[in-house]
Structure 1
Amino acid sequence: MKLLLLLALLSGGEGVSDRSVAGRVGGSVTLTCRYDMKDHKPLSVCWNRGDIPLRKCDNELIATDGLSVREDSRRSSRYQLLGRLDRGDVSLTILKVTEWDAGRYGCRVDIPGWFNDEKHHFDLTVDSDPQTTTSVTSETSTLQTTVTHTAGHMNATETVPTSSFSSIIRCVMFGLLVLVTAGGVVVLVRKWMRLHKV
């Protein structure tokens, strides 16, 4: 009993947080992990698949030595740390998400001292519907493309018109200019005909 109480007190010293994150097959998802650079120098960080153990990462996906990724730690090129490491942003981005990526992940920030490490756990769910690009064709061949934004921990998708929309605007404006010009020419021709009594 005393041993369990001691273990609970010791493990309670580490900061632990849990979050749920959603991703989609074929897209990318970012698991946000940051530490405060004001309080610390650049710190070592490791990302673990599954729960974070008592020490280090036992199922390491990728890790840093403080300011750069340790290439010997990268399990796959699909795992990227795209944030500013020099500002404490050690968020993990998983590219080309598959159904097998669903599950538990952990970010461990190695803070010097006993039981000071920050632990952040993420439970990733993956939607099996693949991300698709939407195309809409009309008489003027207007195309639409899908743009993916990473908002917090989840990808959001919206449809945005491509530059062909501005081409349509230009065509309409040109058509209006032609009509106005043609109308002006007709007025001038009528005046000329009246003056010359044609």
Structure 2
Amino acid sequence: MSDELRKLNAFFSEAKVWPEELRALRAILLDCGLTEEFKWRGPCYTFDGSNVAVIWGFKENAALGFFKGVLLRDPEGLLVAPGDNSRAVRMFRFTGLDQIEAIETTIRDYVREAIELEKAGAKVDPPKDDIVYPEELLAALEDDPELQEAFEALTPGRRRGYALHFAQPKQSATRRSRIERSRDRILAGKGLQER
């Protein structure tokens, strides 16, 4: 058994929240012809190597997220953004197995549409970055050319994630501390949540 398969099996067998819902979503996604991989500490579903969907077990709900969900037709308005700053991902939220069973056909339709978007090479074209970088980040980038070069080499989503993370604290000292703690990760080209 591969290490990846062990991690996937452990994820589902050891799930503390929404275990039945997560297994039901897994079965649907695998039945739709997606490949299951272990990324970002959880199951990710791909088509021809491209990320299509992901499932999560949150405290409040189980969720099925689509990486390019903003491009999906959603005539019934079932998809929601995972957060205020989400630009592309949209997801279903479930608080019971019966909810998944009630819209299984709809879920399959959305998965098929997401696969077709991948086949067509569809891209999400987010608006230009509207994040204002905190002063502490601008100062750190100006004072550290190596950090600036590495930060600018990050994908727009990774830069955005860091900028939002750095801007959250009210105190300047905390913002500077977050930047310092993230320096090595930025130099390694990693996003905020990547290991």
TM-score (norm 2): 0.25
Higher helix residue share = 2
Relative contact order, higher structure (CA 8 A, sep 6+): 1
Structure of higher CA gyration radius: 1
TM-score (norm 1): 0.25
Higher strand residue share = 1
